[in-house]
Structure 1
Amino acid sequence: MHKHHFGGIITVCLLLLFFLTGCQNNSSRITVVGSSAMQLLAEQAGNDYRLAHPSSNIVVQGGGSGTGLSQIQAGAVQIGTSDVFAETQSGINAKKLKDHLIAVVGIVPIVNKDVGVKNLSLTQLQKIFTGEITNWKQVGGKNESITVINRSKGSGTRTTFEDIVLKGKKPVAAQEQDSNGTVKKIVASTPGTISYISFPYANDQNIQKLSIDNIQPTNQNITTNKWQLWSYEHMYTKLKPSKATQDFIDYMLGSKVQEDLIPKIGYLSIKDMKVERDSNNQVTKIGN
């Protein structure tokens, strides 16, 4: 009986140990949700971080900036990623979130290679996305109908694109897609199509990147705002994130990510910027 009782204690102790270990792993789980423009960077950094910190547990998902902001506000995730400032989104209380600026990403209009156009003026681009220009021959291309592919409503990339290109005008009714990868595939395979994606996804020979007013879509041109289609990549946390979450944010802001990974996969480090932009899209020179 005494022996049996002792065995019972061991079983309880093992169960308790198992339970505590399980809880510990769970508390170190960091779920990152939101911007599809930032997904590539977050996934790669998350993989590198896991290799260096075997006890960490980082899960990265897309879903769009709107989803990232609402999920972090609800406390459903540890990090919400966004291409737009939280204060610009209705229903989001930015004062209860902490903003970590991680990188800058460019946005580029892309077309199917068959349309015969490599450059548009900003006005022409606007008129295509508002439905005023409907055939490629109107902008020096083929006699072919224009098919607009837009991004989903919660997309931060779409918000930035429409703020800078449409300037408050109503977008044409169009098919909507929520991920950069899907948009790229559709444009590459469908004659007459136009859309826009983030720079890191645009390194593909099967699509035609457009210049705007003869300005090339390069990271160098973003640093001075010569190329105006760009946004910050934000990681939002609660005001007091867990230690595990803060450690990962610190890693994202550290030299390994900022100096090595970010330029390697096509983003821009904040440190490279010669201008900054506020939540109202007002651009000022850094140092002024």
Structure 2
Amino acid sequence: MKKKVLVLTAVMLVSALVFAACQQAAPTEEAAMAEEAAPAEEVAPTAEVVEAPALSGQLQIAGSTTVQPLAEELAAEFMDANPDVSIDIQGGGSSVGVTSAGDGTVDLGSASREIKDSEMEQYPDLQVFTIAYDGIAVVVSPDVALDNLTKEQVQAIFSGEVTNFSEVGGPDAPITVVSREEGSGTRAAFEELVMEYKDDAGEKQIKPIAENALLQQSNGQLRTVVATTPNTIGYLSFGFLDDSVKGVAIEGVEPTVENVKNGTYSIFRPLNLLTNGQPSELAQAFLDYILSDGQTIVAEDYITVSD
């Protein structure tokens, strides 16, 4: 009897241990359901980095000799940042810039003046991008003691009505007028901004440049002639002003970028790049650069488009 009790006790003890182990190992129904309901951990997809294609190709630009040195400086910076890009820039004058762009012989034309209505009629798809503004200064040779002129005096000198500096407060010396050639954007802007007047009927007219004026093909050439020829007077883009010539105040206002910005000096014009229709991808990229980071270069000698 004692032996049976011991066996029964052992059997009960083993059963209890087995039951306890099963209770530990088996998950509860609630836990199992929760485990099934829990969402699987999401793994974020790896983003693929797509680099913009490098710019490459060639651009041909021609036109204004005023725009040319600015465009060359802008192009140099742009090509440094884009080694596979080549930009060739030629002068010829603003009229050449308009016709070259309109005829599609260049990627970008350049003009240092407003585009004429007749040109827009000839090239109705012409697109105009103003990249800067530029003042025009009346300049005299270093030997001429003359600091200020009125607009009327400037008109009289450049039209040949006044022929001696003594007539406008300067030395007793004959005046030699130096001007840009026909087709020059600088000349066209000077004629419109300075030589324009109203006749007796109230109609706008432009006094013609003196027939005996020494005509020059670029701002650089005109500056050299005025700097080295006594008793001369001419007009220059602000971008070409230096100590070799003397800038003359107009109506008491000095020809400076700051005076253009503050509105006291009114002889200035736009510097434009032109395309026939929408620009090519490369031309658009160059224009985008000029109108953003390139404005830092513009600000060195010209007036930015935001001023």
Question: What band does the TM-score fall into relative to the shorter chain?
Answer: 0.7 to 0.9
Please give the residue correspondences for 1:1-288 in structure 2 after superposition, counting only pairs within 5 Å: 28-90=57-119, 93-167=122-196, 168-173=206-211, 174-202=213-241, 204-254=242-292, 256-258=293-295, 260-264=296-300, 266-272=301-307
2: CA distance, partners of 1:233 / 1:94: 19
Q: CA shift at 1:224, angstroms?
A: 4.2
1: CA distance, partners of 2:272 / 2:152: 29
For residue 81 of structure 1, give the secondary structure of its aligned residue in structure 2. strand
Which segments of structure 1 move beyond 3 Å, counting only runs of 4 or more? 87-92
Structure 1: runs of 5+ lacking an equivalent: 1-26, 273-288
Q: CA shift at 1:171, angstroms?
A: 1.8
Q: Which amino acid aligns with 1:184?
A: R
Q: CA shift at 1:57, angstroms?
A: 0.9
Distance 1:179 1:89, change over 3 A: farther
1: CA distance, partners of 2:225 / 2:125: 38
Cα deviations by residue, 1:229-287 (Å, 9 ceiling, x for unpaired): 11101110121221111111111111x211x21112x1110101xxxxxxxxxxxxxxx
Q: CA shift at 1:136, angstroms?
A: 0.8
2: CA distance, partners of 1:191 / 1:163: 27
Q: Which amino acid aligns with 1:262?
A: V
Between the two proteins, the alignment pairs up a number of residues equal to 242
Q: CA shift at 1:219, angstroms?
A: 1.3
Q: Is the contact between residue 113 and residue 189 of structure 2 (CA under 8 Å) also seen in structure 1?
A: yes
Distance 1:225 1:160, change over 3 A: farther
Q: Is the contact between residue 129 and residue 273 of structure 2 (CA under 8 Å) also seen in structure 1?
A: yes
2: CA distance, partners of 1:130 / 1:90: 27
2: CA distance, partners of 1:110 / 1:165: 14
Distance 1:92 1:146, change over 3 A: farther
2: CA distance, partners of 1:91 / 1:177: 27
Q: Is the contact between residue 34 and residue 69 of structure 1 (CA under 8 Å) also seen in structure 2?
A: yes
Distance 1:92 1:66, change over 3 A: farther
- Normalising by structure 1, what TM-score? 0.81
Q: Once superposed, what is the RMSD of the aligned Cα atoms?
A: 1.5
Q: Percent identity?
A: 34
User: Hey, which of these two has a bigger chunk of helix by percent?
Assistant: 1
- Normalising by structure 2, what TM-score? 0.76
Greater Rg, structure 1 or structure 2? 2
Q: CA shift at 1:91, angstroms?
A: 7.8
1: CA distance, partners of 2:57 / 2:251: 48
2: CA distance, partners of 1:31 / 1:233: 17
Distance 1:245 1:159, change over 3 A: same
Cα deviations by residue, 1:127-175 (Å, 9 ceiling, x for unpaired): 0011111001111111111000111111111111111211112221112
Q: Is the contact between residue 123 and residue 276 of structure 2 (CA under 8 Å) also seen in structure 1?
A: no
Q: Is the contact between residue 79 and residue 86 of structure 2 (CA under 8 Å) also seen in structure 1?
A: yes
Structure 2: runs of 5+ lacking an equivalent: 1-55, 197-205
For residue 68 of structure 1, give the secondary structure of its aligned residue in structure 2. helix
Q: CA shift at 1:90, angstroms?
A: 4.6
Q: CA shift at 1:97, angstroms?
A: 1.0
Q: CA shift at 1:194, angstroms?
A: 0.6
Partner of 2:40 in structure 1?
A: none
Cα deviations by residue, 1:183-231 (Å, 9 ceiling, x for unpaired): 11100000011110110110x2121100001111111221243211111
For residue 162 of structure 1, give the secondary structure of its aligned residue in structure 2. helix
